Amino acid sequence: MNTGSDDPSEVAMATDKTAADEAQADREAPAQDAGRVAGGGLGSRAPEFVKARRVLHLSWQVGVFVVGLAVVVAGVIMLPLPGPGWVVIFGGMAIWATEFVWAQLVLRWTKRKVTEAAQRALDPKVRRRNLTLTAIGLTIVVALAGIYLGRYGLVMPWKINTE
């Protein structure tokens, strides 16, 4: 087709050919992802030369599992200690998700739940309720601090003489 042509039949032929090419690509897409679950993009993301050799692929999976486990354990240790525990745990899950379908499904579910929670938190009614509860809580804390300071002054609780 000549790019300068205004012939409607050439434009229609080009449109039909493009639509046919796109339909063919859609039909071939599942065949190209033979190692993945249809429509989900699930499965191993190991390089092809690793997946081609069973022992190498099994070794790869063991290595990914061990590294992911180390990261998840570090995240669990960080939960009670200072550090971004949940972020590290999800990082370990993301490492596992590069190789294991079960981890991909768990990570997908977690992302969906976090997104839903974020959307709920941004709801104006929920935000108003949260702000109201925060204001009430702060008012109670300030009132209790005022009562304590009025009664005992700036004395630490363990140094108060009850006699």
Note the pLDDT of residue 163: 62
Tell me how far the alpha carbon of residue 25 is from its chain's centroid: 30
Domain chopping of the chain, boundaries? 39-121, 124-159
Note the pLDDT of residue 162: 66
Tokens of 97: 């998700």
d(CA 96, CA 150): 56
d(CA 3, CA 148): 84
Between the alpha carbon of residue 129 and those of residues 75, 121, 132, 135, 138, the distances in Å are 32, 10, 5, 10, 14
Between the alpha carbon of residue 79 and those of residues 7, 74, 83, 93, 103, the distances in Å are 69, 9, 7, 16, 21
Could you list the pLDDT tens digit for every one of the 163 residues in the chain?
444 445 544 444 444 444 445 445 444 444 334 444 444 577 777 777 777 778 888 888 888 899 999 999 999 999 888 888 888 998 998 899 888 888 889 889 988 998 998 888 788 888 899 899 999 999 999 999 999 888 878 877 777 676 6
d(CA 111, CA 95): 15
